[in-house]
Amino acid sequence: MLFNSISFAIFLPIVFLLYWFGTKGNLRLQNILLLGSSYFFYACWDWRFLFLLIFSTFLDYSTGIKIYEATNKSKKKFWLWLSISINLGFLGVFKYYNFFAESFADGLYLLGLNANMGTLNVILPVGISFYTFHGLSYVIDLYNDKIKPERNVVDYSVFVSFFPLLVAGPIERATHLLPQIINKREFNYLKAVDGLRQILWGIFKKIVIADNCAEYANAIFNNTSDYTGSTLALGALFFSLQIYGDFSGYSDIALGTARLFGINLLRNFAFPYFSRDIAEFWRRWHISLSTWFRDYLYIPLGGSKVGTGKKIRNVFIIFLVSGFWHGANWTFIAWGFLNALYILPSIIFKTNRNNLDIAAQGKMFPTIKEFFSIALTFGLTVFAWIFFRATSLSHAFEYISKMFTKTLFSVPYIIEPITNLHILPVKFILLLVVFVLIEWIGRERQFAIEVLGFKWNRSIRWGFYILLIVFIFYTGNFNENTFIYFQF
């Protein structure tokens, strides 16, 4: 069930009404309802994988208790590694087996040997990377004595499976989400309205920005050889806005939906394209994953409190693992490697925490220095996204080599599929400019339209919301396109 589908538009109001009216505020019933609806939500993809989700939940639930009750360190460690191994084992089989088998066979072929490792004809269970990391953070926190185990199996299951975050995050922490699940929740008007506003903005970002950008980005990336350098640059730009609109739109819908149920999820995006350096970008992009890697990998490896050599090693480990987390393809690893190269100077020279505030905070316009820093960071990010979007490394290199030619300075065009006419979607590009401006204006908030119109007359504010809905309706792409991060 997609957030941008008719079925979700029916599912959400039903669960909402049952949650607040059907349970009469009984926390037990509310959590049972959330669990049941979350499992239903997940089963709509493929009910067979529901068993995997339940197994993973029970594994972390029971090993969590075992870790807590273990009388000595070695027993704790045993239960921790049992959980980690099984969790990562599943991830390995479902997500990475084919990649390793094929890469190994390719490697042997280069050495003149023929080997057929065989590939598994398996479907990647949706959300496996997210709920696996979710569960891992729980057992690692227990091992480190940061939390106590949750003994109520329903509450723990809701923590893992709460439907707004189940398939693409944010990757929650037990310290943040579990207390909200086990404590009584009251309906809060302002929170619910805020949630609706965030859902609306998320839908706009997904359906109007991301899915329309996708049409152009796909046309350009899928026909690289047909286009000039300037069009390929435009294609990379479209993809950058597509992936931002897609994932941050998804996160907005997830956060807004959770708010309707009185639950606050971790923020996942904080206007990353207005970052002034790559380190800031990574503090603002997919925050829940970046902080996960920081807390459970980077810091245990020594983080930045080690010698320069180890620091460099840690940075590469983090970004290569992060790239690999996104998918079993060398393109993602190259994307991670490129980002490691980008961030490395700031880690070595300790300038990675230079930009902890918001760009041009409290001001309408950035300084010239800020503007160029943002533009440079954005340019580097767009370049890296080429690897992320390309189907293979050779495709990425072909794309880049074709992009950096004399035609980079020509007028870009897109070939219309049926008429074969060369067009430039000027109106859509103008819409993207307006979108970026709204995001810039709202960059100090949780999401761009969080407080937009608060000072307006009520009827004007309502008019704005209605206009936005009508605008989404008439300009959106309603093909129920899946979210990019569902494949991870």
Partner 1 sequence: MHMKAFIKNLSILFFILFLIFFSVNYFQSFYNSSPEHYKLQYEEIIKKKEKVNSIIIGTSHATHSIRPSILDEQGLNFYNFSINGASPGFYTNWFNELFLKEYPIPEYCIFSVDWFMFDDEWLWRHFEQDAEYLPFSVYSTMFFNSQFNKKDLIDNRFPFLKYRKQLTESLKLVRGDSKFIMKEYDKGFVPIKTEDKYRLFERTESQYNFKIKENQVDLFDKLVNRLKSLKVKMIFVMTPEYNIDINEYKGMRSIEIINNISKKNNIPFLNYNTTLRTDLNENIEYFDDWGHMNAVGSLKFSTLLKDEIYKITHNEILNE
Query: Is 153 near partner 1 (CB under 8 A)?
Result: no
Q: Are 328 and 352 in contact (CB under 8 A)?
A: no
Indicate if 134 belongs to the active site.
no
- Chain positions 178 to 197 lying near partner 1, rule: CB under 8 A, are 187-189, 192-193, 196
Residue number with CB closer to partner 1 (398 or 480): 480
What helix, strand, coil percent values describe the chain, rounded to 5? Answer: 70, 0, 30
**At its nearest, how many Å lie between partner 1 and the CB of residue 202?**
17
Closer residue to partner 1 in complex, CB, 47/187? 187
Site string for partner 1, 76-95 (x = CB under 8 A): --------------------
Give least dist CB 266 to partner 1, A.
25
Of 20, 130, 293, 335, which one interacts with partner 1 (CB under 8 A)?
A: 20
Among the options 134, 176, 326, 422, which is catalytic?
326
Number of Cβ within 10 Å of residue 28's Cβ equals 11
Cβ atoms of residues 247 and 483 within 8 Å: yes
Residue 108: exposed, middle, or buried by beta-carbon count in 10 A (0-12, 13-18, 19+)? middle
Whether residue 345 has a cis bond before it, omega within 30° of 0 = no
CB of 452 to partner 1, least distance (A): 17
* Cβ-based nearer residue to partner 1, 191 or 389: 191
322 burial via Cβ count (<10 Å: 0-12, 13-18, 19+): buried
**CA distances to 390, 393, 399, 411, 417 from 226, in Å:** 15, 19, 11, 14, 12
Which single residue is written with the structure tokens 């329903």?
154
- Report d(CA 395, CA 381) in Å as an integer: 18
By CB under 8 A, is residue 14 in contact with partner 1? no
Query: Least distance from C-beta 191 to partner 1, angstroms?
Result: 10
Positions 186 through 245 that interact with partner 1 (CB under 8 A): 187-189, 192-193, 196
Q: Determine the Cα–Cα distance for residues 447 and 206; give it in Å rounded to an integer.
A: 14
Quote the least distance from Cβ 263 to partner 1, whole Å. Answer: 16
- 480 binds partner 1 per the rule CB under 8 A: yes
Total residues interacting with partner 1, rule: CB under 8 A: 17
d(CA 166, CA 485): 12
Footprint (CB under 8 A) of partner 1, residues 440-479: 462, 465-466, 469-470, 473-474, 478
Catalytic residue positions, numbered: 326
Kindly list the residues in this chain that would bind partner 1 in the complex (CB under 8 A).
Answer: 6, 20, 187-189, 192-193, 196, 462, 465-466, 469-470, 473-474, 478, 480
